[in-house]
Structure 1
Amino acid sequence: MSRSINLRERHLAAVTGGVGTKAIYAERAENAQLWDVDGKRYIDLAAGIAVNNTGHRHPRVLAAITAQAEAFTHTCFHVAPFEAYIALAERLNVIAPVSAPAKTMLVTTGAEAVENAIKIARAATGRTAVIAFSGAFHGRTMLGMALTGKVIPYKKGFGPFPADIYHAPFPNLLRGVTVEAALSALEALLAVDVDPARVAAFIVEPVQGEGGFLPAPPAFLEGLRTLADRLGILLIADEIQSGMARTGKMFAMDHSGVKADLVTMAKGLAGGMPLSAVVGRADLMDAAQPGGLGGTYAGNPLAVASANAVLDIIDDENLCDRASHVGATIVNRLQDIASRQGMERIGDVRGLGAMVAFELVTDRDTLTPDPATAAALVAEAERRGLIILVCGTSFNVIRLLPPLTIEEETLNEALEILEASIEATLQTPITAA
């Protein structure tokens, strides 16, 4: 019996089935490569779901964590604050896409950042309602699920959810939802379902993650900003998956030039360590009473040290430019594949920087989502040694999130495997179970 099979049996016996996983049991990893417990090598185009933007085990991240561990590993910032937290806040205040001056708070997970952003928005405005968007993903807490616009697997069976949360359509040109239609629907929501004077915030992903890697058109973000300003509503940008150089700029909002009032970030912030942040206008961030924000593990010293190293790496290794190059290389290859005869089930190729996806459909006329083909492609790629992920409300979108530090040779090898996997899968008729 292989170690993977043995671990799978132990896993199924000991771990709740509610925690969905792959059956790749990691033993070690390096930059964009991962080896399982049986020695099988994979190229990792998931990067821990956009966490390892600087790759697995970047030497400077490891050195920063090691140095901090030799000093102290935990004090609780509420009890004994420390300089590295303050230094990280100072750096994030400068680079976050918010109107200056800004202030920062650190927590642990993306969902925690979202929850705190909503708390801050409510405290600052005295309002309670929040508007999110269809296809959104904002976390697995009760409030996170309420804000999320995707039922399966995140919301099914877990309700009721917190009240005063509303959803409006997100632009999706492939599905016929234009910017104008989305903004018009939002105006209708404010006329029919919720009084604008009760709305504390809009929360939007500038590139939707679980919703299918849909970039928000700049005109949509501009429309949200204009509407928010007119009605006294705050704009929260959820940059948890799209931030930290992933899209070719430090934050996806930077592509539009639109400034948010509050920004949430996590994932790629700390190079694999659990850390998240809310950065916002100083007047808003100071609205909560002392003690109203924070947490025991919020801003863990090891994670903070790692995050400061990540910011250095992004600058020193020009990872924004690298993300643009990596993304363009992937998109060009996918567009070439999609143009060939027999590849008509690739309905769309899209991306911003190194946040790239392609959508699988039954045909390009109806654009009917084809989740069975997507699942088969993921399995075929894994068989060949490539880790990729699905997303989208219909589970028919393949998302690619390589480490931004991936070597050119490894990237080309990954694309060769991906192309072979696509050809093998799309040449075989796939029917839903």
Structure 2
Amino acid sequence: MTTSAATAVVVGGPGLPQRRELRTSIPGPRSLELQRRRVAVVPAGVSSVMPVYAAAAGGGVLVDVDGNSFIDLGSGIAVTSVGNAAPRVVADAAAQLARFTHTCAMITPYEGYVELAEALTAIAPGDHEKRAALFNTGSEAVENAVKIARYATGRAAVAVVDHAYHGRTNLTMALTAKNVPYKDGFGPFAPEVYRAPTSYPFRDGLDLDGAPIDGPAAAARTIAQLDRAVGASRLAALVIEPIQGEGGFIVPAPGFLPALAAWCRDHGIVFVADEVQTGIARTGAWFACDHEGVVPDLVTTAKGLGGGLPIAAVTGRADLMDAVHPGGLGGTYGGNPVACAAALAALRTVREENLIDRAVQIGAIALDRLRELQRSDPRIGDVRGRGAMIGIEFVHPGTHEPDPGLARRVAASAHQAGVIVLTCGTFGNVVRLLPPLTIPTDLLLEGLEVLAAALEEGRP
């Protein structure tokens, strides 16, 4: 590693050299300068994981303003699944940018909105008639899904599960389980939100008969709690992440989601799958629900949908979506034409580059290496995930007691070594991997070895 600052890279995309390279200390001088400027004008509440400032990204790397090239195992929290500055996304967004940037779809609509709705209704689970409405963020999509469910059912109560994360608006903060940093001091929150246990195989333990709590048993526990605390006849919706994201990349036991979906169907409860982080090929399917054949009534998408541009959607049963009166759904920027063009290009990229299959390959490579590490390291309590959505849960050896300090140290060590990883989990003890689906295999393997070295450094 040299100590001289490098000239900033200004052109991104897959043409960037696909290598990890540290040219300065981390953070470098230009990043330190930008940080000094930032603290003078940006509030402390808007924090960042990495102490470096981006200049370019593409393929499987991110290059900072000092010329340091990092292996990207975060994808901007699962947003740049098709790669940063993906060629189709850039070309189509630029072409739309030159035609017009905004008219407001509620004033004068445009073909891109309709085309994206057609694409989403085609890939969303189920063969029933569907509709799609476009918004800006995942939180906004979830909030609108709840609005639709309440309007269509005439009920007020909404159910969520432990460890859930659904957003930062007032309603979605109420749906979210974790207090710090998402809820602390921001109340009061929206009423009529009820929480029930979820399926967390690593922590569920045994039932009273000494048998493991499997998916159907976990679902029965969830249903019993909601029946007691709320009553099925009062519930408008059950909102659930098919794989929990911020809560710890928790993959529920097989049978959990199908049992909940069946209960909702039997009682007229709208089953809302929050696929903001899991959707659009991330888990090795268009949607994480697809792995168990679950067909939600409504599904929310964002993040990977836009190829890096902000766009979100609620897609679901036509009778539910059409129940809301004209003007009841929308927003000034919802389905922005440039973002629609980017989303259509992202979906085309997934198909043309076989990124669903690539997500499966990434998962197999990562899980194999991480489980190899787990076999020799008792601090790794669990390794889990589907496709390119992998979580590593750290515990104190010989226990299930969370070790958030180790997760922080491993992440910080990886950052200093040139690999971007994120932490998550209700207990802050999970390192999560969300590589772009375009990452070269050699870079993925190198990133995993950096993680292995960070773990070794953290041994007592």
Alignment equivalent of 2:450, drawn from 395, 417, 432: 417
Task: Give, as a single letter, the amino acid of the residue that structure 2 aligns with 1:109.
Answer: T
Cα distance in 2, alignment partners of residues 330 and 160 from structure 1: 41
**What displacement does 1:53 show?**
0.2
Report if aligned partners of 2:249, 2:391 keep a CA contact under 8 Å in 1.
yes
From 112, 121, 140, the equivalent of 1:112 is 140
User: Retained in 2: the 8 A contact 1:99–1:281?
Assistant: no
1:349 aligns with 2:383: yes
1:9-408 matched pairs, under 5 angstroms: 9-22=36-49, 23-176=51-204, 178=213, 179-340=215-376, 343-363=377-397, 365-408=398-441
Which 5+ residue runs of structure 1 have no aligned equivalent?
Answer: none
Is contact 1:117–1:264 with CA below 8 Å preserved after alignment? yes
Does the 8 Å contact 1:45/1:386 carry over to 2?
Answer: yes
Counterpart Cα distance in 2 of 1:217 and 1:90: 33
Deviates more, 1:268-277 or 1:88-97: 88-97
Amino acid at match of 1:49: I
The answer to whether the 8 A contact 1:98-1:281 is kept is no
Tell me the SS of whatever aligns to 2:82.
coil
Structure 1 segments of 4 or more deviating over 4 A? none
Task: Quote the Cα distance in structure 2 between the aligned partners of 1:186 and 1:421.
Answer: 38
The RMSD of aligned alpha carbons is 1.2
How far residue 223 of structure 1 moved from its aligned partner, in angstroms, is 0.9
Deviation of 1:35 after TM superposition, in Å, equals 1.2
Q: CA deviation at 1:244?
A: 0.5
1:94 is displaced (CA, Å) by 1.1
The answer to whether residue 31 in structure 2 is matched with residue 4 in structure 1 is yes
Provide TM-score, normalisation by structure 2. 0.90
| Alpha-carbon shift at residue 351 of structure 1 (Å) | 0.7
- SS where residue 339 of structure 1 aligns? helix
1:316, CA displacement in angstroms?
0.7
Letter in 2 for 1:267: K
Q: Distance in 1 between matches of 2:361 and 2:324?
A: 42
What is the deviation of 1:218? Answer: 3.6
Query: Is 1:218–1:255's contact at 8 Å kept on the other side of the alignment?
Result: no
Cα distance change, pair 261–8 in 1 and its aligned pair in 2 (3 A): same
- SS for the counterpart of 1:149 is coil
- Counterpart AA for 2:45: G
Shift of 1:371: 0.4
The residue identity in structure 2 corresponding to 1:344 is P
1:380 match: secondary structure = helix
C-alpha distance in 2 between matches for 1:49 and 1:67: 27
**Are the equivalent residues in 1 in contact too, given 2:201–2:252 (CA < 8 A)?**
no
User: One-letter code of the match for 2:323?
Assistant: A
